[in-house]
Structure 1
C-alpha cells in the first residue's frame, strides 16, 4: 500500500534508520530531472525574448545554479530543515556547511545528503523563475547580488514553514502542499511582481510587439520542463512508491488539460491556437498540479490543469490593463497557477491520497479550503513585501535597472560582449569600431 502524505511528512521529520536502495535510486534520478529543469527554463525564457537579450536570459538561469548552491550548502538547508528555533518561522544553523551529514546519515529512507540535494534543485529553479518577470532590463551585477539574498530571506523561510520540522504552515495551520505550490510557484510569482514594480516597464512596453524570437526554442524548453517536472512532483514522495506513481500520472494529466484549456481560450478569443499558447498552457497546468499532485485524484488533477490553462490564459493579459511589465508572464502563470493549484486542494483533496484530509467536494467542509487560503495569502504577501524591499535597496545602492542605452542596444552585447546570432550584431547598434565587434566582423563589414 502506498504511503500517505502525512506518513511521508512524518518520516521526513523524524528521520529513518535504514537506507532503502530503491527509494534512493528513484530520488537520485528525480534530483537530476529537477536540475535539468533550470536549463530547460533557460531555453524556454531564451526563446521568448528578443534576439538582443537571449544570452543574458540564459545566463540569469545558469548563474542561479551556482549562486543558490553555495547559499544552500552554506546555511540555507540548515535554516530550512535543521530543526525549528523560533515559533515555526525558521530553522537553526546546526547543520550549516552540511555539518554532521555524512554518507550514512539517513532522512526517511534515503541519504540525508541526497534529500538536501533534491531540495537544493527546487531552490535553484525558484530563483531562476523570477528572472522572466524582469527580462530585457535588469543589470546582471545586481542579479548576482539579488539571488543569494532573496534565497536566504524569502525562499528558505517559506520552505521551513511548509516542509521544515516544526514549520507553522504544515504543523500548526495544517495546510497541504505536496511539491511546492507555496515555496516555489507563489513565492516566485509574487517576487516577480514586486521586481516588475521596482524596475518599471521595458522601453516600448505596450507600443512595440516584443514577440518571442524563437518559438522552437520555447517548445524545446517547455518539453524539458515537463520532463523534469516528473522528478519535481513524483520525486516529492521521497521514494519509489504508489504515491509517487499517482503524483506522476497526475502531473501528466494536468499538463495535458492545461495545454488544451489554453488552446481552447485562444481559439475562442483570437481564432488561432498558437505554439506559444500550447507551451504556456502545459506549463500552467504543471504549475497548478505541483501543490496538489499528491493530494487529489486523477479526476481532480484533470480539473486542476484545465482550470489553470483557462484562467492563466486570461491572466497573462492583466499586465496591460494594470500597467506592470511582467516580461515573460511569471505572474500570470506561476503566481496565478500556483494559487489555483493550492486552493483547489481545499476542494478536491481525497482521503486515499492524503490519509485523512478531504476537500469540500468530498465532504470535508470549508476548513481545508480556509487553511489553504490563509497559507496562500500569507506566503504571497511575505514574498512580495520582502522582495520589494530587496529590490528597492539594490536599486538605490547599486542600480538594478539597466541603462537606457544598454536596454536599447541589448544586454547580450553591452553586458556579456557576445551575441547569440552573428548576423544580428550590427543590427543591435554596436558601431563598427566598437570593442564589442570581433576583428572578423569588422573585416566583413568593411568589405
Structure 2
C-alpha cells in the first residue's frame, strides 16, 4: 500500500528530530497535533499516529490516542525499554531510538498491520453471522421436529380411528358388549348367553389387546438395544429360515407362494440375528398383506464388495399400488392403506409402526432398510412394476470380495432408475432352495 497516492494524513504528535520534514520529503502529508487542535479537526481521518512513548506516561498517552483516533494505528518511537504490558498496547514497538527517516517504513508496516486487523474484524463478523445462521438452523430443526411429532400423532390417531371403525376393534367390541345384554336370557338361577356372541366378544377383545401391545412395543423402541455382532452365510440363512417359519400362518391366508434364492457370500456381515429375524418377519408380513391372492413373492440376494443385500419383491395391490409418498414409508405410523384386514390381527407390529421399528433395529448394526419401486424382467411375462423392500448389511470382514467361482450371484443386479431389477439371463427362472419350511416357500 502506498500512502503517498492516497492523499492520507499522518499525524505527528511532536516534531522531534525533524520528523515532519523528513516525511514530507518522502511524499507524505503530515500535520502536527497542535495544528489539528487549532483547526478544530481533532477527529480527522488519519492513516497513522506517530508519537514518542515513555514508560511513565505511556499507558495514558495510548488511552488518549485510541479515544481520539480509534481506527488509526499508532507508530511509537521508543528510547529505552518498555514493560511487556505496555508493549502489548502498541501496534509497532521500536526497542531503541531511530532516525526520523526510519519512520516512513514504520508507518507502512503499521498500515499493513491495521489493514490485516480490519480483515480479521471482518472475518470475525462473518463468523458471528455464521453462528447466527446456525442458531436459525437449530431453531428451524426444533420447529421441524415439533411438526414431525405432531404429524406422527395425527397419523397414529388416524390409524386408531380406522382400525376402531373397521372389523374387530374397539368399536366392534363395544357393539358386541351391548348385543350381549340383548341376547342374554335369564333362566331361574343362571343366564343363558349364545356361544357365538361370547366368541365374538373374545375375538374383538383379543384384537384390542394386540393393538395395545403394538403401541407398547413401539414405546420401548429406544430402550431396546441389539448387541453388535457378525454373521456368516449359514447363520444369516438360518435367521431367514426362522422368520419364514414364524410367518407361515400369514402366508396361508391368501395362499401365496414365496420363491427364495439362498443367501450366499464369503466372509462375514454385520448384524444381530434377533434384529434380522424381526426384520424378515415384518418385511414378509407386509409382502403378504399387500399382495394379491395366489401371487408370487420373491426373495433375492446380491452381493457387493462391502455389503450384502436381500430384497423381497411383491406385486403391489391396494394402497401400496398408488406409489404415493413412498419416501415416507419408514416414518412411524405410515400406512400404505387404511383398509384393515382382520386376518392379520396377530401380526407382530401393527398400526403402521413396523418399518420404523426394524429400521432402528438394523441401523444399530450399521445396516439399513429401503423400500422402492423396481422393474422386474424375470420370468416369461413382460416387465412389470413391483415393490421391493431391501435389507442392506455391511461387510464385517475383508473376505467379501474374494473370488468365489461356485457362487452364481450375478444373475440379478440392482440398478437405479426405471430398470430397477434386471435379470442377466432372460430365460432363467428364480432359483429354488431345498429344505425350506412351509408348502408355499421354494
TM-score range, shorter chain: under 0.3
Larger helix proportion, structure 1 or 2?
1
Larger Rg: 2
Q: TM-score, with normalisation over the residues of structure 1?
A: 0.20
Larger strand proportion, structure 1 or 2?
2
Q: TM-score, with normalisation over the residues of structure 2?
A: 0.21
